Structure formats: C-alpha cells, structure tokens
Amino acid sequence: MIKGKLEKIIQESLENLKSHSDHFSGAVFEIEGFSGIDHGDYAVTIRNIIEGGLKRGHDFETTKFTQDDGEVILEEIKKHPDFDKIFDRAEFKFPVFFNFFTNKKVLLDELKQVFKKKQNYGFSSGWKDKKVIVEFTDPNPFKEFHIGHLYSNIVGEAISRFSGAVGARVKRINYQGDVGLHVAKAVWGIEQKIVSEKINFAKLESKPLKERIVFLGQAYVLGANAFEEDNTAKEEIVELNKKIFKLDKTIKNVYQKGRRWSLLYFEKIYKRLGTKFDSYYFESEVAPTGEKLVKDGLKRGIFKESEGAIIFPGENYGLHNRVFINSQGLPTYEAKELGLALAKNKDFKYDLSIIITGNEIVEYFKVLIAALEAVLPDLGVKTLHIPHGMVRFSSGKMASRKGNIITAEQLLDNIKDLAIGIVDSSKNLSRKEKNTVVEMVTIGAVKYSWLKNRIGQDIIFDPEQSLNIKGNSGPYLQYTCVRCDSVIRKAKIQKLGSEIITGNVGFGEEEMEIIRTIIRFPEIVVEAAKKFSPNLICNFAFNLAQKYNAFYDRYPIAIAKEKDVRQARLVLTAATAQVLKNALFLLGINVPKRM
C-alpha cells in the first residue's frame, strides 16, 4: 500500500531530523487520502514543532510552525531514498500541509494488483497473528427475532469480514438466553394458551415453523404482560423459572420443543442474511461456571452480599452496583456472562473478544467488563463492547413486551415487496432469476442503509430511500457492478487484465482520478478494521460508484474510437466492478449477475 510506504518515508525523515535537533522532537503527522488532483494523492499534516528549539513537556498549545520548518521537513523527505521511486513531487502549503503526488507508473502498478488478486484485492495480513472472536445477534429462544437482532447481525458480520480481510483468524459466535425469566414468561404463556384455547401442543409440531413461532411470540407477550400486571401470575412465573433452570420433568417437553422451534427459525434468518456461526453458546451451559466464578470472587472480596443477593460493587469503580446472583440463589445475566468469557477462551484462546449489542445496555457492559477485569484480568482487558444505535421509525422504537413489534422477517419481507418494483421491469430475467435478484436487492438495501451510518448513531430508516437506484443505497452499488459487467460482456474482450496495463495505455486525467480512488481500497479496509467502522467502506464504495457513473455518462467506453483509450476504459470498468464487489462482500452484500 502506497500509504504505508509514505508513512515509512515521513517517519524516518522526522526521526532523522529529531536526532539532530530538539526543535522537531514533538512532531507528529497524519495522512489523509486523495481529495482532488490539485492537492495530490495524499495530504499530510505535521504538527507539534517545539518553539525556540526547547522542549516543553507535552504542552504544544503555544508551539509555532514556520515556513522554514516546512521547507526543512520537505527537503528531508525528498532526500529519502524511496521518495523518487514513488512520488513525482511533493509540496509544502503553509501552515502545516504537505501534498504528495504519486508517480503514474506506481499508480498503474497498483491497478495491476486488482487483476492479479481479484476477489482478494484489498485483503492484507497485518492482523495475521491475531485471533478475534466476534459475538453478535444473540437472539433469545421463545422471543421474536426483532430489528435489534437484525442490526447486531448486520454489524457483526461486517466486522467479522473486515477482521478476516486484514489477516485475523476470526470466529463468529452467538450467545443465546435459553434460560431466565423471559423463558419462564413464554412457558407460562404456552401453558395458559393450551388450557384457554384448548390447543393440542403435540399437534403444533405438524404446523409450519412460521406458525409455531407466531404462537411462541404470542405466548411470550401473554406471560410478559401477566408478570407486570398480575401478582399471582408473577409468583407462578418465578417458580417456573426455577424449574427451567433444573429442567424439571413437568415442563421439560414444552421447554425443549419451544427452544428447538426458535433455534430452527433463527437458522432460517441467518441463512437469509448470509451468516454462518462457528459456535453457539447458551446461558444454560455457562450459568454453572459463572455462578462458581462469582462465589469464588465473593471469597476474594471482589463481590459482596447485599439483601440476600451477591452484587458487584460497581460504585467503587465509578459505576453502579449490579446483582450477579439474585436472592433466589440463581445466577443473573451478568454472572452467566463471566462464564461465557471463560468458555469462549477455552474453545478459542482469543486476542480480542468483540461483543456487539444495542447501545441501550452500554452502562450494563461497563459494569460487566469491570467485573470481568477483576475476576479474570487477562480476559477483561481483551474484551471490547461495540454498541450500535437504534433503528427508529415514525412510530418510535418498538417494544416486544407490548406485542407491537415489527420483526426482522416482517421488515425484510416489506422491503422485498418494494424491491419487486425495481426488478419486475427487467425483460431479460426469468421468474426464478427475478426472485433471486429481488432477495439480493432486499438484503443489500437494508444492510447498506444501516451500515453507511456511523456505529452508535440511531438510524431513521426510510425503506424507499434504501432502494433508491440513483441514490446512496445498496441497490445503486449493485446496479453499478451489473452495469460494469454488462459493458465488459458486450465488448466481447477475450483478454482484459494486468498484462495490458502499460505506461503508454490511454489513461487521461479523469481516468487517473478514478484509478486513484480504486487503489485506496486496501488502505480503507485497514482503517475500517482498526476503527470497527463499516461506514468507511460504504463511503468509499459510493464515492467510487459516483465517479465511475459520471464518467460513464460523459464518455464512450466500449465504442471509443482510439484503441488505447477504449482498452483503458474497459480496464477501468473491470477494475471498478471488481473493487466494488470486494467492498460489498465486506459489507455482507451479494451482487446479482443481472438486474
């Protein structure tokens, strides 16, 4: 990557200057990518020059950067032995800006890599020694797979792919709450519906899975409302919760069937979204370990007893207190999370454990990680919580307790109904092809619409805009890929790749501007992985698609008169398609062959 080579040149040049004068000892730099040919391929800012040649600790607020300082740094950079191999020139713009202009041959050599590496272009090995475990989605059996689970899945899959793209060994895991009050509420609701509606529970097994899931959802709502409104029902649900932990034979059949139906249903959604988990963990499995860790921690003074429960004194850490074993002697979510961390590390000794959830439980995770660092320090420091925002509609955030939830599947099906209008106009697709394309467009629309926002921000989701074929949308990028492929296919070029890219090929300034954008892709992938920011990939892809489509609208591609120009534009088209497909892959979005 050119950026990496530039970083090396600047770093070594500054180190050389620092070795001769304290004046440059505090200098730091930051590299930005291509922003227009007048400002070079890379714009660099250098700050923190020490005034008067004297060090002032870490206080650089009163430092000055003079024209002479800039000229001295620039000359040192130009003397670096690798400078002329990569750059035609560099310039200093007072007060702190340095612009670097890459040699055309270097740019074209990098473009060749697109054709050599193809679907692997943009991938690197910087994290090759790192093992990363990504926990995401985490739906609970007996409850609906709601939009929050969908968002977690979309973010988690993207981050998993980024991490793998920079060389990490990645494990996707899913942690599901198959015990706890929510399960007890659902089981209670099932028992009530069996009696009140005279339902033969055994016969439900023959019903379509979707009907069984609706039944479970209704049962959960019934139990959740009763728990809040009826003290007798609440007492019964609390007792049921104890029985479920012990897998009491009186509820075993109902519990196990409901659990299995939920997990089968979840798998259908994962397949639709393109996610394949490496491991599944359940609260029932990790609860005993978590309970033991808490009780051992109580002896060590990490936890303390309070009103018959065992709590983690978060207030001692500037946080809030949380219960880890309740007054009934049962481990809470928090205790189970400790057991989960140990189980994950036992199965896959990770360097980094990423947990992706909605941002409504940020404070919960602050306490949890503080407790984990106290109980299992080595694992605590390797744990990172990434919270995403909420998806909001005109009616506000939906809550499953009140039964007015819009499920993930319903949302996807609603978008699919709208997407049919985009594809139906195509006369070149069979009915089967149309169904496949509609599904790809649906998933692409939702994923891109949510990932283009910075993680942590709430999203106001507009279904129609998510499908806007001319706007900043997944279908727009998919269509650009299809357009590029169509151009290449119609040109009937037998040989189109790195071997025809030479210094004399007909790339003009506008073509070179697109090339400058294309070859930044590997740098963007690294940055997105480091910052856990899918929106950076989205921004890159949209920018590239806009530039190519604007070029396509202005100039002939396959019918350009001059052979060199025609060939160059076809190379540019093929490279654009490949890089856009690679970017969309990292976002978990497939590209149709035709639209």
Burial grade of 62 (CB within 10 A; 0-12, 13-18, 19 or more): exposed
Q: What is the DSSP string of 210-272?
A: HHHHHHHHHHHHHHHHHHHH-HHHHHHHHHHHHHHHHT-TTTHHHHHHHHHHHHHHHHHHHHH
Whose tokens are 């690197």? That residue is 124
Listed residue (246, 267, 264, 261) closest to 184, CA to CA = 246
| DSSP structural state of residue 140 | P
**Number of C-beta neighbours around residue 138 at 10 A:** 19
- How far is Cα of residue 290 from the mean position of the Cα atoms in its chain? 29
Cis before residue 95, ω within 30 degrees of 0? yes
Give me 381's structure tokens.
């420091």
Per-residue pLDDT in tens (0 to 9) along the chain, 595 residues = 899 999 999 999 999 988 877 777 777 888 887 656 677 889 888 875 544 333 334 443 435 667 888 899 999 999 999 999 999 999 998 877 899 999 999 999 999 999 999 999 999 999 999 999 999 999 999 998 999 999 999 999 999 999 999 999 999 999 999 999 999 999 999 999 999 999 888 888 889 999 999 999 999 999 999 999 999 999 999 999 999 999 999 999 999 999 999 999 999 999 999 999 999 999 999 999 999 999 999 999 999 999 999 999 999 999 999 999 999 999 999 999 999 999 999 999 999 999 999 999 999 999 999 999 999 999 999 999 999 999 987 555 544 334 456 899 999 999 999 999 888 777 778 888 999 999 999 999 999 999 999 999 999 999 999 999 999 999 999 999 999 999 999 887 766 666 656 666 778 889 999 999 999 999 999 999 999 999 999 999 999 999 999 999 999 888 888 888 888 899 999 999 999 999 999 999 999 998 8
Within a 13 Å sphere around the CA of 91, how many CA atoms are in the beta-carbon half?
8
Q: How many helices (H) and strands (E) are present in the chain, helices listed first?
A: 22, 14
Residues 6+ apart with CB under 8 A from 350: 131, 132, 133, 171, 344, 382
pLDDT at 405: 67
pLDDT at 401: 39
Give me 62's structure tokens.
């009163």
User: Bridge partners of 169?
Assistant: 131
- Alpha carbons 185 and 219: distance in angstroms, whole number: 8
Phi, psi (rounded to 5 degrees) for 422:
-70, -40
Secondary structure of residue 378 in the 3-state scheme? helix
- How far is Cα of residue 391 from the mean position of the Cα atoms in its chain? 15
Secondary structure of residue 439 in the 3-state scheme? helix
Listed residue (225, 333, 350, 217) closest to 286, CA to CA = 333
Kindly list the strands in the beta sheet with 383-388, ordered across the sheet, starting from the edge strand earlier in the chain: 279-282, 169-176, 131-135, 352-358, 383-388
Torsion sign, CA atoms 65, 66, 70, 75? negative
pLDDT at 32: 80
Residues 6+ apart with CB under 8 A from 471: 465
